[in-house]
Amino acid sequence: MTFPSPPSLDDGVLTVVGSDVGDWSRSPGDHQNDSRKRFYNSAIDVVAGEANSQFVRAVMAAEATSLVTNLGTHGVGYINGDLTVGLARLPVGEWVGVQGDSHWAADGIAVGTATLFDRSGAFGSGMTTAVSNPAAQIDFANDPFPLRIP
């Protein structure tokens, strides 16, 4: 499986979001559509002054499984209940990607799966469970992250 490369990642931006029908940006609102979503992240240090291990990088990036599987045409209307991460190897480099693979929902319960990848390819999976909460729908169309990647 081939994963799209993000834009140049040397401008200090730590997170970018993409979809099959939108260019990379910082805003999830640019990707409120019905296509596959992806997220690229260079994690902040968990402990100040200590570099993250590759395991920590992978798990922190995997948190985006909920975003890439639950973000739809009207934003995110689910509360993430659980995340399971499985790794075949540790990621290579500072940047870790997460690409949504599935989203299944019935009676207010959803499950989603995503592939974790780096510049060398896929190395693991994330699976999230979520509970529908339309009263707290997060519509990113008017989000506070206006920075766009040129």
* pTM for the predicted model, two decimal places: 0.85
| pLDDT higher at 110 or 22 | 110
DSSP 98: E
The answer to whether 119 and 91 are in contact (CB under 8 A) is no
Give the pairing type, strands 15-19 and 109-118: unpaired
The per-residue pLDDT for range 16-29, each reduced to its tens digit, is 888 888 777 777 88
The per-residue pLDDT for range 136-147, each reduced to its tens digit, is 888 888 765 555
Whether the per-residue pLDDT at 117 is higher than 80: the answer is yes
Distance CA 115, CA 102 (A): 10
